[in-house]
Amino acid sequence: MLGNVCSDYHLAVVNHWVYIKMSLTTIQQFYVNKTILITGGTGFIGGYLIEKLLRSCWGIKRVYVLFRSKSKSGEESLKEVYKGLKESNPDALEKVSLIMGNLELPNLGLTDDDLERIINEVNCVFHVGATIKFMEKLRTAILINVGGTDSVITISKKMKNLQSFVHVSTAFSHCIRNVTEEMFYSSMMDGDALLKRARSDDNHSLNEATSTILGKWPNTYVFTKHIAEDLIRRKGSDMPIAIVRPSIVLAPYREPESGWSSKFDINSLFVMSMNIGITHSLRCDPRAIIDVVPVDLVVSQLIVAGWQIARTWKAEGLQIFNCVSCQQNPVTWGQQEKWRNKFNSMIPSSKKVFHHFVVQNMNTVLLYFIDLIYLPLIYLMNLRGFLFGETHIVFKIYKKMKFYCELVEYVTLKQWDFKDSNTQILWNSLEIEDKNVFNFNVKDINWENFYCNVVSGVRQNILKDDMSSIEKARTKARLLKLFHYFMEKLRTAILINVGGTDSVITISKKMKNLQVSFLYF
């Protein structure tokens, strides 16, 4: 009797599991019972990758996350990203295990026990970890971006059941070229030699020779990502490796939340600074295409690339996918600012400091002149804070944004051409069910709606400005606009007094020629 009960129970469990498997998509089935290793799991892309895997591939057995310090702060950092999982799948985080390691060290600095566990258990690798600081010291950038990649490849080659390895690069890893195809580009520098020198460079002579070594490369980030790709080409040809190259990664478009991120992303900082009226200039061509991709599309493509390379690498070898928008759904710098301005006018923040306007132009002198409108006031606010013992964040935000704007000029001053035929082939190969779950089709993006959600998300979740303050914020915005025009008239009067009417007319004509039509003199 007991045997019949046990047999019936076992049959019910089997039938239930068969039903569940039948309801899974092809890609979801691939990740069932898989053990995954992720580097960079607490970063911007890595955090959303883990969240997406746990939410959409719930059959995963375990996720190992490489973390520099196995501490409470690491667990809290993970939990911050996965707040949405508490409702949909509260037990999901139990599948996540932190593994203490360091990308700068050989073998990732893993203990013998952790290394053995990874070699024996891991099936899929997502190498997301990197230093993304554009001006990182060259030695550190080589140790992390090149050395970390070398260590992950070395360990992955020893894995007993490796099925896929996805390396996250950047679309700008070959930015010295006019066109970036989905292919390998050989490097003039030996990655092994650079890495050997970095690991033995106690006197940091590499850092002193940075400009000589970089040559045409604008910063250490893109240079070392380029070297890392070449290292994969040379050392990973016998492995199931896919390289995904995202362009500029933005906040999520759809999931887990639309338009804002609980983790730092540079675009949200730009939006915040511009919307509260601190940043008023950006050196770029407003007619040029800005290549941007929301982070949820990026992580979906990473997951799909892992499935794809596992089933095709023996026949097709290593594969490269440019995760970009310029070919399928382009948006210009000018359009982006137009939508930001539109929605900032509709739902302004009550924490606005100055009137919102942003001049996009290639002329450095003009932009410096624009900054002079409010720079004295920003310094006065900072002086007031100093005299009264207050910390005024406006000056700090202004300095940080000027630093970032200058830092990314190599992106903003050039028209980029990234090809994405492999990405399109990958998308078109998916079944409709997988397209619904892992949507990375940039054609589906409505950019105007996206920037509406970005402005709203930044207002509510970063500025902590409740929507109930809308009327108060609109009144404040109108007053700041009047103050802005008053300052313009005052400046015009000063110019007339100093240089005469002719000088004002000359400046006005030059401003119009530079397409700055909304500044009044």
> What is the predicted pLDDT for the residue at 76?
64
> What is the predicted pLDDT for the residue at 287?
92
Segment 276-299 shows an average pLDDT of: 92
Mean pLDDT over each residue of the chain, to the nearest integer: 85
244, 302 contact by CB (below 8 A): yes
User: How distant, in Å, are the alpha carbons of 36, 240, 245 from that of 166?
Assistant: 11, 8, 11
pLDDT at 109 over 70: yes
CA distance 465 to 452: 16
CA distance 282 to 112: 50
> What is the predicted pLDDT for the residue at 516?
46
> What is the predicted pLDDT for the residue at 496?
65
User: How distant, in Å, are the alpha carbons of 40, 293, 314, 429 from that of 424?
Assistant: 27, 15, 21, 9
pLDDT at 19 over 50: no
Confidence of residue 81 (pLDDT cuts 50, 70, 90): low
Dihedral angle sign, alpha carbons of residues 272, 275, 279, 281: positive
Lowest-confidence segment of 136-150, 439-453, 500-514 by average pLDDT:
500-514
Confidence of residue 38 (pLDDT cuts 50, 70, 90): very high
Q: Which of 271, 393, 278, 409 is nearest to 341 (CA)?
A: 271
Segment 116-139 shows an average pLDDT of: 94
- Greater confidence (7 vs 384) lies with 384
Lowest-confidence segment of 309-318, 368-377, 439-448 by average pLDDT:
368-377
pLDDT at 456 over 50: yes
At 309-364, the pLDDT tens digits run: 999 998 888 999 999 999 999 999 999 999 988 998 899 999 888 888 888 888 88
> What is the predicted pLDDT for the residue at 83?
65
CA distance 303 to 124: 10
Domain boundaries defined on the chain = 31-256+289-330+415-442
> What is the predicted pLDDT for the residue at 80?
61
Confidence of residue 520 (pLDDT cuts 50, 70, 90): very low
> What is the predicted pLDDT for the residue at 483?
87
pTM value is 0.88
Segment 258-275 shows an average pLDDT of: 77
- How many CA within 13 A on the CB side of residue 24? 19
Confidence of residue 2 (pLDDT cuts 50, 70, 90): very low
The neighbour count for residue 389, using CB atoms within 10 Å, is 6
CA distance 271 to 337: 9
Confidence of residue 262 (pLDDT cuts 50, 70, 90): low
> What is the predicted pLDDT for the residue at 164?
98
Lowest-confidence segment of 76-80, 336-340, 371-375, 398-402 by average pLDDT:
76-80
- List Cβ neighbours of 349 (8 Å cut-off, separation of 6 or more): 275, 276, 459, 463, 465, 473
| 126 backbone dihedrals φ, ψ, rounded to 5° | -120, 105
434, 342 contact by CB (below 8 A): no
CA distance 182 to 243: 9
Name the strands in the sheet holding 241-246, side by side, starting at the edge strand that comes first in the sequence.
Answer: 96-100, 62-67, 35-39, 124-127, 164-168, 241-246, 319-323
Segment 12-29 shows an average pLDDT of: 65
pLDDT at 7 over 70: no
Lowest-confidence segment of 26-30, 250-254, 344-348, 398-402 by average pLDDT:
398-402
> What is the predicted pLDDT for the residue at 226?
96
The fold adopted by the segment(s) 31-256+289-330+415-442 is Rossmann fold (3.40.50)
> What is the predicted pLDDT for the residue at 499?
53
> What is the predicted pLDDT for the residue at 127?
98
> What is the predicted pLDDT for the residue at 412?
87
Q: Which of 449, 42, 461, 469 is nearest to 268 (CA)?
A: 461
Which of 246-255, 411-420, 421-430 tops mean pLDDT? 421-430
> What is the predicted pLDDT for the residue at 521?
31
Cis bond upstream, residue 256 (ω within 30): yes
